[in-house]
Amino acid sequence: MLYPGERLDEIGFSGLKLIQKPDEFCYGVDAVILADFAAGKKHDHIVDLGTGTGIIPLVLSHKTCAERIYGIEYQKGSWERAVRSAELNSLQDRLLFIQANVADFCQLNGWADAVTANPPYMAGSGGLTNESMAKTIARHETVGTLEDFISCACRLLRDKGDFYLVHRPSRLVDIFSLCRGYGLEPKELRFVAPRQGKAANIVLVHCVKNGGTELKILPELYVYGQGSDYSHEIQRIYERTT
């Protein structure tokens, strides 16, 4: 099932495998952390925006009992690899992937129990550019802005539905402003740092559509412990299931 330039990786959850193309884009630990962050509540229908090759739906299939998990992806190559990965893991009946731009995607408003998003971190053309157009689209807001992801989540979610986002702490003001503007009230915030003593470089945000105004700050999460080994909590994330 592999095409030239692709590789097959075990993702660390019950033997699940993912097709990736390193020349275009490979997932990072932020996707795994987000999937675990979103797996704490029972949801029957979950939508992952900007799903890439489908890593978040794949992890959620292991960590939740969700009936259907949908992945929305703009790039044809990534979308096609996600479809093949679902088939490879015999999950094609649970994991459904749609090729679409989140800026335009709007189907059956108000039906999703939860929406996850790991959008491009770089606003516009800011930050480093990449030789690969696929990597540029994945990392920069070239075809979908932060507002596009948040407004799409708002459209898809049912009342009191959950929105889970991973992004950079430097965008927190934008995130809070946009989320509240679209009726997604921030309820939980968790900073993620490479290791203890280092500044956080990732933030997890949980919002509830039309939720009450109360924000809970969760304990900081460290990715690494000693040396290059994952911290105990990251190791527990890989062990945790429903």
2 lies in a domain? Answer: no
pLDDT the model gives residue 89:
98
Whether the pLDDT of residue 219 is over 50: the answer is yes
- The CATH number linked to 210 is 3.40.50.150
pLDDT in tens, 107-139: 668 999 999 999 997 676 555 555 555 544 445
16 lies in a domain? Answer: yes
| Strand-pair partners of 72 | 49, 98
Range(s) of the domain holding residue 116: 7-239
Please spell the DSSP secondary structure of 26-73, one letter per residue: ---HHHHHHHHHHTTS--SEEEEET-TTTHHHHHHHHH---SEEEEEE
50 lies in a domain? Answer: yes
205 lies in a domain? Answer: yes
Q: Which two tokens stand for residue 89?
A: 């893991």
pLDDT in tens, 192-214: 999 999 999 999 999 999 999 99
85 lies in a domain? Answer: yes
Model pTM above 0.85: yes
1 lies in a domain? Answer: no
Tally of domains within the chain = 1
For residues 112 and 45, the answer to whether their CB atoms sit within 8 Å is yes
pLDDT in tens, 151-204: 999 999 999 999 999 999 999 999 999 999 999 999 999 999 999 999 999 999
> How many C-alpha atoms does 145 have within 13 Å on its Cβ side?
10
Burial of 15 (0-12, 13-18, 19+ CB in 10 A): exposed
49 lies in a domain? Answer: yes
| Strand-pair partners of 159 | none
Residue 114 has phi, psi (to 5 degrees) of -150, 150
Mean pLDDT of 82-94: 98
For residues 122 and 77, the answer to whether their CB atoms sit within 8 Å is no
